[in-house]
Structure 1
């Protein structure tokens, strides 16, 4: 059965919301829903459209927009770790919380994504992002996928697909069993690792391969003959083969971190803060420590809960994050006087007898630029193209490029539109709309104001799903 994604997410969020309120009522705390600010964490590498999707899912679950805060997961983890009285580094020596001026990299290693940001501590204890959020889908579920590919390689893809499709509870039980084992796998592990597998997997194999014993398949398979044995509901795998399941994820993470440390804003960072559920993997910890012996690797207690606990701090102190790095270039579509030496002919339009170049990308903030949270960015004034124009239309665009020329360039996306009433046409073309963008929280507010009448102002959080 198919279901819209927003319905799935809103139902999950609604369940958590209702559980929290029910528990508060049982404990007779006197907390009402109207007293609560809800914090929803999202990966920092998500684009603006994905963030708005989560906001709308939360609103559909009954959470009011003005009671909802979106927190970036590595920022939440960072705030949590700054409140810890003491940390242990890779040498098991200890030191206090980060001091003013110190820089550190937050590696939020979750199940699906690896989310990486670089922060600097300000004089007032706030944190400022130094390098735009980045990462990839190299999380702990990649190790799970390597394990299931191993099983499918033995029994056959058709058998494994049939088993996982027809026996979903058993399949989830298999993944839970592997998750428990996964946390105990370390680089110095030797011998055999025993993992329970559902009997139904063996039964499915036998039904689809009459007369063949699954145990015999393992002994005949040249790839795994010396590596594992299978006895109905248990497989025993050599530790060396189990450790290989981590190789792809760990290698991708380490290689990405090495590339990051070549950037000027990052190469002098001496601390790596490792958080998230996958960060509790001894294999990942070892790989990062081995690759970055000149860095202090910090793994807080209950690293898997760092984002959750930090989210609470984000709700209480959202101002603790003072600056972020733009992941995109943001601007407004406009038209300028046509210049045949630099503008292509097909961009030429005629307005009020004047030749203009259409689709100009007027940049407000650039990708990689550090913006102060809550402060208005560059203000620009845009004039009407017709003397009798009674409203100013502001089309908002984004681009992956640092210096886009036209809003039609590859990588440019239309985000939304603002319209400001300008009923007084007595000044003809001598009017204007002032536009500025404010990066508050994890989203962008765009404001357009009539230059001659500041009371005529329109502000919007850009509709990235439009």
Structure 2
């Protein structure tokens, strides 16, 4: 693949930023550097009409009420359907990839010739994964009738698969041994993958199984502590110096200026190292300086003098001059959070730690990780760490069975009636129907949080429609972070999905109709299948995590 056009001087463009630019009409215009540069060159008044969205991927993790109607706010304050924005981004990549492949191979590549792999953070909830799949369908990568054409891969798993295939001689922090990492890992060996991206950090521990497969030792963990958390520290600093209201005013009234300033900051952020002693200059756009004088009635230099911190000054060249010590301080909260999380999940059996993702290329993060782990743990940083997930996703697409055992993040199940047992069940759960005494709201767990589930493992339950002419069965599906859950109305139990089973029309049957539901929790997505036992036919069954 060719490198991306556009970008910043001095920054290699192996990746393009997550930016979508829509025309004032809402139609797609461009993505990545092209979108950013076009938006930057617009007249200030004209730019206010255009819809500029960046770093929107994080919305899928942070929005607890994510659904098909979720909206994103653009730079000009306009709300846009999130599903539409993600579909635009995926369609852009689809068209770009097909064109690149067609040019390279000298033939016209068709959509059906490709198995598409979309990577997501391992800590994403099922709602977010379903959202990405729906966006991919809307973008034309696959269809609901042929879902197998699209594979959802977990980012740290993709990185893990790639790192195992890499040679030590190609890896940063490793020796010149001309053998693959896989060659030195025996059955039972464990290693940790720390995937540090722009938004989230995922930590996964894998164990090598007989035959070369992988087992997830514990459920992937992490949080929102990627490189954007450092950006937030910089924004917090600006708010302290110039006032929170002014910064919000600048973001709203001069969105192009804000983009310019964050571009300048990104370049300086990447230049920050643990041993740097010279200060760094961050250029403030003229629109910032001008608006500050108009709104606050005095100069930027005056605000900096009033802030009275020797670590940040106004330079003669019209830039923020930030000391190396203050730059490192801006990294500190994020680095400490990542290091603490890694340490909390480290165990004595882990021999290697693979540091991957775009943020992994930061020398500040590399030093913090090396300092936080025991001496026997070999910290390895692949070359082009930001591309590790991409390369691993290709390998995962060729063999989606590489990870054979995963650990369930949550306890999943349904609510049922059980026979009431006085010595076990609370009185408030007693339900009398005729001569029978039942316990209501019992949590029937399909899988429990922390439980290891093998790829292909099936959990089955049987249900019967109430009426013979019933066309659909709807079952509420619940989740809980605890393994020892008893009832569906406990404090941290939520309804996370609706299971919908479309019943095929059949001739009348004399016996009671049985529907056997099979659910699979060992893959990257929760999958469901349903058999109409009375007829032997398949029923259309889906888990809707938006319902």
Supply the distance in 2 between the matched residues of 1:79 and 1:89 (Cα, whole angstroms): 17
Give yes or no for contact 1:199–1:232 (8 Å, CA) kept in 2.
Answer: no
Q: Secondary structure at the match of 2:401?
A: helix
The normalised TM-score by structure 1 is: 0.89
Is residue 206–residue 214 contact of structure 1 (8 Å, CA) maintained in 2?
Answer: yes
Pair 1:246-2:318 in alignment: no
Residue among 107, 118, 127 paired with 1:49: 127
| Deviation of 1:10 (Å) | 1.2
1:276-335 C-alpha deviation (Å, 9 max, x unpaired) = 011111001101111214221110000011111111111111111111110011223321
Task: Give 3-state SS (helix, strand or coil) of 1:465's partner.
Answer: coil
**Aligned runs of 1:37-436 on 2, under 5 Å?**
37-65=115-143, 66=147, 67-86=149-168, 88=171, 90=173, 96-98=180-182, 99-101=185-187, 102-210=189-297, 212-222=298-308, 224-231=309-316, 233-261=318-346, 266-294=347-375, 295-351=377-433, 353-377=435-459, 379-381=460-462, 394-414=475-495, 415-419=497-501, 426-427=510-511, 433-436=515-518
Distance 1:395 1:149, change over 3 A: closer
| 8 Å Cα contact 1:230/1:236 also seen in 2 | yes
Q: Does the 8 Å contact 1:349/1:357 carry over to 2?
A: yes
Deviation, structure 1 residue 435 = 3.6
State the number of aligned residues: 455
Query: TM-score w.r.t. structure 2 length?
Result: 0.77
Q: Which residue number corresponds to residue 74 of structure 2?
A: none
* Deviations 1:352-397 (CA, angstroms, capped at 9, x unpaired): 64222222222221111111112324x3455x59798979765433
Provide the rounded CA distance (Å) in 1 between the counterparts of 2:95 and 2:468: 54
* Post-superposition offset of 1:257: 1.4
Deviation for aligned residue 1:144? 1.0
SS of the residue aligned with 1:319?
coil
Query: For residues 340 and 464 of structure 1, what CA distance do their matches in structure 2 show?
Result: 35
Q: Which residue of 2 aligns with 1:34?
A: 112
Structure 1 residue matching 2:458: 3-state secondary structure: coil
Structure 1 residues 447 and 39: alpha-carbon distance in aligned structure 2, compared to 1, 3 A threshold? same
Counterpart for residue 14 of structure 1: 91
Residue 258 of structure 1 deviates from its aligned partner by 1.7
**Contact 1:112 1:141 survives alignment (8 Å):** yes
Q: Distance in 1 between matches of 2:311 and 2:524?
A: 52
Distance 1:357 1:191, change over 3 A: same
Distance 1:132 1:3 in 2: 34
- Post-superposition Cα deviations, 1:435-458, rounded to whole Å, max 9, x if no partner, equal 43223531122334455x371443
Residue 246 of structure 1 aligns to a residue whose secondary structure is: helix
For residues 535 and 476 of structure 2, the distance between their equivalents in structure 1, rounded to whole angstroms, comes to: 20
Q: Give unmatched runs, 5+ long, in structure 2.
A: 1-77
Q: Which runs of 4+ in 1 moved over 6 A?
A: 385-393, 421-425
Structure 1 distance, partners of 2:258, 2:529, is: 51
Shift of 1:270: 2.3
Alpha-carbon distance in 1 for matches of 2:507, 2:84: 42
- The structural deviation recorded for 1:8 is 1.3
Q: What is the RMSD of the two structures over their aligned residues, measured on CA atoms?
A: 2.7
CA shift for structure 1 position 60? 1.3
Q: Closer, same or farther in 2 for the Cα pair 1:259/1:314, shift >3 Å? A: same
Q: For residues 194-240 of structure 1, give each alpha carbon's deviation from its aligned partner in whole angstroms, at most 9, with x where no partner exists.
A: 22221221111111233x33224323422x13543344631221111
In the superposition, relative to structure 1, how do residues 179 and 355 fare at CA in structure 2: closer, same or farther (>3 Å)? same
Q: Runs of 5+ in structure 1 lacking a partner?
A: none
